[in-house]
Amino acid sequence: MLIVDDKIKSKSDSFWRSATFKIIMIGLLILVLLIPAAMIKNLIRERETILEDAKRDIVSSWAGTQILIGPLLAVPYMEFIKKNNEVTEIKKYVYFLPEELKITGEISPQIRYRGIYKTILYSTDLSVNGYFTQPVFNDLDIKESDVYWEDAFLSLA
């Protein structure tokens, strides 16, 4: 009995099954799939930019970052400078911090939307309590007669 193989193997048929062909195909697939990956990265970058613009737009309708400085007690006084037998008066201020200061507050977050984007804004209600002691001007080489208490003010920034 004679068995004849119907399949004739050629060199081109073996190329299609070779490891070289498979590596080339994998490389081509990687290159083709880089295109949608780059498009997705570009879309993500664009959405992040739109998100930042939306946040800036929302925040711009509010007051922005607030910093509480103070309170300071500003007391004006006159300084006299002798120069060439002339006396010049200069109005200056001396600032005093409170002896005790207590700030309490409650922060309430609020979510604001702009399209599909959201951001959190914070508002607060503050209560500021404290007291000042009577300033001693002798330690500062300022005469009590040169101090203008009627023009003193409380500064809160």
* pLDDT, tens digit (0-9, with 9 covering 90-100), for 8-36: 555 666 777 888 889 999 999 999 999 99
Going from N- to C-terminal start, the domains of the chain cover: 11-60, 72-155
Measured in whole angstroms, the distance separating CA 124 from the mean position of its chain's CA atoms is 18
Q: What is the pLDDT of residues 54-77, one digit of tens each?
A: 888 877 777 767 787 778 889 999
C-alpha distance from residue 122 to each of 78, 112, 115 (Å): 44, 10, 20
Category of 85 on φ-ψ map: left (φ > 0), alpha (ψ -120 to 50) or beta: left
Q: Show the tokens assigned to 31.
A: 């290159």
Residue 118 pLDDT: 82
Residue 102 main-chain phi, psi, to 5 deg: -130, 120
Q: Show the tokens assigned to 139.
A: 């330690």
Residue 37 pLDDT: 92
- Which parts of the chain fold into alpha helices (H)? 11-16, 19-60
Residue 1 pLDDT: 52
Q: Show the tokens assigned to 156.
A: 């809160």
Q: Is pLDDT above 80 for 98? A: yes
Does residue 135 contact residue 73 with C-beta atoms inside 8 Å? yes
Q: Is pLDDT above 60 for 4? A: no
Amino acid at 58: I
pTM over 0.75: no
